[in-house]
Amino acid sequence: MKVTTILDHVESGHVALPEFQRGYVWNREQVRGLMFSLYKHYPVGGLMVWVTESEGATYRGDGTLAPGVVKLLLDGQQRVTTLYGIIRGHAPKFFDGNAQAFTGLHFNLADESFEFYAPAKMKDNPLWIDVTKLMKVGAGTEIQQFLANPLVNQAEDFNSKVPTYLQRLNALDQIKEIDLHVDEVTGRDKTVDVVVDIFNRVNSGGTKLSKGDLALAKICAAWPDARDAMKAKLAKWRKAGFYFELDWLLRCVNTILTNSAFFVALKDVTTSQFQDALSRTEKAIDYTLNLVSSRLGIDHDRVLGGRYAFPLMVRFVDQRGGHISDPKERAKLLYWYVHSFLWGRYSSSVESTLSQDLTTIGERGSGLDGLIANLRQDRGDLRLKAEDFAGATRGSRFYPLLYLMTRAWGARDWDSDIELKLNLLGSLSSLQLHHIFPKAQLNKTKQFSRGEVNALANFTFLTQETNLKISDRLPTDYLPDFVKRHPQAMKSHWMPLTPNLWQMENYQEFLKERRQLLADAANKFLDMLESEGVDEAEDMTSRLSEIAGQREGGFADSDEESRVTEINDWVAERGLPRGTPLFELTDRDSGGLLAVLDLAWPQGLQPGLSEPIALIIDEDEEVEEACSQAGYKFFTSLPKFRRYVTRDILASEPA
């Protein structure tokens, strides 16, 4: 079928995109490659369509299907969208992506290259042809305008080169007439299950659907609004500062609806069953977020460890009617949750581990005691040791624990002596990460590695106002005054109070002492949580609405941490997937933790088509090496990351 005919069919609604397809993910390099291959008449592969009845077909976009039958694109979406955008001059109705990837393509008549418009190079140069303009007006009109240009017809070599130029203009225009082979999948036996399986097979080298995509495709076939309904709930939690993926929510729904960790369990559910389960899941997630926020102080995404423990927890909550009335049972669940993220319970083999834990809380299982026993069986001992706090910056699962202890156990601000609770008022009262020994001062000595400078034991959380007052002063300068005025506030941060340890030359001894103090305090807190529960005074029924009133991203944003949060927002604002904070990079074979990355896109910024990406700020060479070995393209500089996203992914000039 000719390219122009295919595009006509897209326009008329005879060709559309199935609901389970993802959006447009090509970049400019891929667009240039396709056009060059078509221009040279190199093979670019055929298309595959699913021929099905228009009535009842689920498709993307707000276009209208032609009556009778429709051909839903299974293979070739990126090529068809690219050609439509370049030849028609705008995106098709089913488009979902970055139109800049195919906007402004130009062709050079002299060297037959394709490049995107660059004013310095192309302005007033008649040898650079706007490809979209030529496709819309046709070669005849373009040739007339080209020959009438004084810069062309007055050139010395005009007569010798113009025949070649005209031939190339015609060849460019003829791309519209190229025939692409179209395979058709037809027959009553071609259900959405069969078709999605075919899609995965033919796209094995491209954007393959995840297990969650496959399950959601089946659900959307019966309930077209399912994806939008789920995205609305994700948006609510995002407003509250918690960023979750569609797969994550679907996994939570699956555990509540089927008590299974495997998405295949959703294959026989009805629309009404799924809608009911989605509503119950939303309530259970709200309750669980309220619980970890009000009881543990984990009030935003940056400190939310173990998000894959949530499918298990929401199942447990739903089993009890959406609310856990027993205070000790609540506390025991939180005890398990904290240990689950400290020891990476779901860092690998998520489905098999979750399946085991779902069985444990089932009717014939041993409940919360069994969950805790499973952790002890894996770890041998759940007691925390000083060396567990030896990690650096956010490259440690114990970073959320430090924040948790600050929030939940009454730590006080050093200057104001007020408790560092969530509901602090005023723009300077939000919590910030504070380096006890200032990073600038430690770096100035050139005696300590990046890991030592950013050691977890060198961190605490203070109000922004206090943090600004301290600035980059040394502990020997600012700590004596705080100890004199508010000694209990200092102790509430598990600080060594021996002045000798505040001196720069004793920095490593300070870290050693504070690690032990942190471990002792953490064990005491967790023991209390398991055996007695936590303070039940705080009402948690409206926690989400309270959090939602705060600035997105929550608190504890200081230095590079604040910038990492901002860069994630910046990426999302440009229509790209949000990265996963505190991403646990694990060994594929053993499942052991290799590193915790500040921000990561394990499927790439263009899922299925681009390499895994990581952002790591102020980390040791060991973390960089772990990224390299795992095949990640990593960035240690935010400006370089922005340039990469803008130029290579978004295909636009850097701002």
pLDDT tens-digit series, residues 109-161: 999 999 998 888 898 899 999 999 999 999 999 999 988 888 877 766 767 88
CA torsion through residues 300, 274, 214, 350, sign: positive
Please give the residue range of the domain that contains residue 620.
559-649
More confident residue, 505 or 97: 505
Cβ neighbours of residue 406 closer than 8 Å, sequence gap 6 or more: 297, 420, 431, 460, 461, 493
* Per-residue confidence band for 227, with pLDDT thresholds at 50, 70 and 90: confident
Q: For residue 473, is pLDDT > 50?
A: yes
For residues 412 and 290, state if they share a domain. Answer: no
pLDDT in tens, 505-547: 999 999 999 999 999 999 999 988 887 655 443 433 333 434 3
Q: Looking at the predicted structure, is the pLDDT value of residue 310 above 70?
A: yes
Other CB atoms within a 10 A radius of the CB of residue 13 amount to: 16
Q: Identify whether residues 342 and 419 lie together within a single domain.
A: no
- Would residue 199 count as lying in a domain? no
Share of the chain above pLDDT 70, in %: 86
* Predicted model pTM: 0.68
465 burial (CB, 10 Å; 0-12 / 13-18 / 19+) is middle
Residue 26 lies in a domain: yes
**How crowded is residue 160: how many other Cβ atoms within 10 Å of its Cβ?**
9
Owner of token pair 């602090």 = 424
| pLDDT at 542 (0 to 100) | 37
Same domain, 456 and 532: yes
Residues 330, 412 share a domain = no
pLDDT of residue 532: 63
Q: Is residue 533 part of a domain?
A: yes
Shared domain check, 253 and 112: no
Largest CA distance in the chain: 94
Asked if 461 contacts 410 with a C-beta cutoff of 8 angstroms, the reply is no
Query: How many whole angstroms separate alpha carbon 468 and alpha carbon 20?
Result: 50
Compare 441 and 598 and report the one with higher pLDDT.
441
| Residue 486 banded pLDDT, cuts 50, 70, 90 | very high
Structure tokens at 445: 């000595």
348-373: average pLDDT = 90
Cα-Cα-Cα-Cα dihedral sign, residues 298, 304, 306, 310: positive
- pLDDT tier, 272 (very low <50, low <70, confident <90, very high otherwise): very high
The contacts of residue 440 (CB under 8 Å, 6+ apart) are 472
Residue 609 falls inside a structural domain: yes
CA distances from 417 to 10, 77, 431, 463 (A): 66, 60, 14, 11
Query: Are 406 and 538 contained in the same domain?
Result: yes
How many whole angstroms separate alpha carbon 268 and alpha carbon 271? 10
Cross-strand partners of 50: 72, 185
d(CA 97, CA 80): 14
575 or 328, which is more confident: 328
Strand arrangement of the beta sheet that strand 105-108 belongs to: 114-116, 105-108, 128-130
Q: Provide mean pLDDT across the span 444-472.
A: 88
Q: Would you say residue 201 lies in a domain?
A: no
Percentage of the chain exceeding pLDDT 90: 42
The answer to whether 241 and 553 have CB atoms below 8 angstroms apart is yes
Query: Burial, 577: exposed, middle or buried (Cβ in 10 Å; 0-12, 13-18, 19+)?
Result: middle
Q: How many domains does the chain have?
A: 4
User: What sign does the dihedral 301-305-306-309 (CA atoms) show?
Assistant: negative
Kindly report the average pLDDT of the chain as a whole number.
Answer: 84
Residue 501 sits in the same domain as residue 433 = yes
Considering the domain architecture, whether residues 515 and 462 belong to the same structural domain is answered as: yes
Task: Give the mean model confidence (pLDDT) for residues 591-618.
Answer: 77
> Are 158 and 150 a contacting pair, CB within 8 Å?
no
Which residue, of 316, 349, 379, is where some domain finishes?
Answer: 379
SS3 content of the chain, % helix, strand, coil (to 5): 55, 10, 35
Report the Cα–Cα distance between both ends of the chain, in Å, rounded.
41
Identify the band that residue 429 occupies on the pLDDT scale cut at 50, 70 and 90: very low
70-95: average pLDDT: 92
Q: Is there a domain that residue 654 lies in? A: no
Q: Look at residue 557 in the predicted model and tell me its pLDDT.
A: 39
Closest residue by Cα to residue 19 from 172, 224, 201: 224
Q: Distance between CA 638 and CA 238 in Å, rounded?
A: 23
| Spatial separation of the C-alpha atoms in residues 87 and 130, rounded to whole Å | 11
Same domain, 612 and 525: no
Whether residues 575 and 450 fall in one domain: no
Q: pLDDT tens, 313-359?
A: 999 999 999 999 998 899 999 999 999 988 888 877 788 999 999 99
Q: Which helix (H) or strand (E) holds 134?
A: helix 131-137
Least confident of 9-18, 129-138, 294-303: 294-303
Residue 194 lies inside a defined structural domain of this protein = no
Contact of 25 with 97, CB cutoff 8 Å: yes
Q: Give the C-alpha separation, 558 to 403, whole Å.
A: 13
* Choice among 1-5, 87-91, 210-214, 280-284 with the minimum mean pLDDT: 210-214
Q: Please indicate, yes or no, whether residues 295 and 431 belong to a single structural domain of this protein.
A: no
Average pLDDT over residues 369-384: 89
Residue 204 lies in a domain: no
The verdict on 157 and 42 lying in the same domain is yes
Domain boundary residue, one of 379, 396, 427: 379
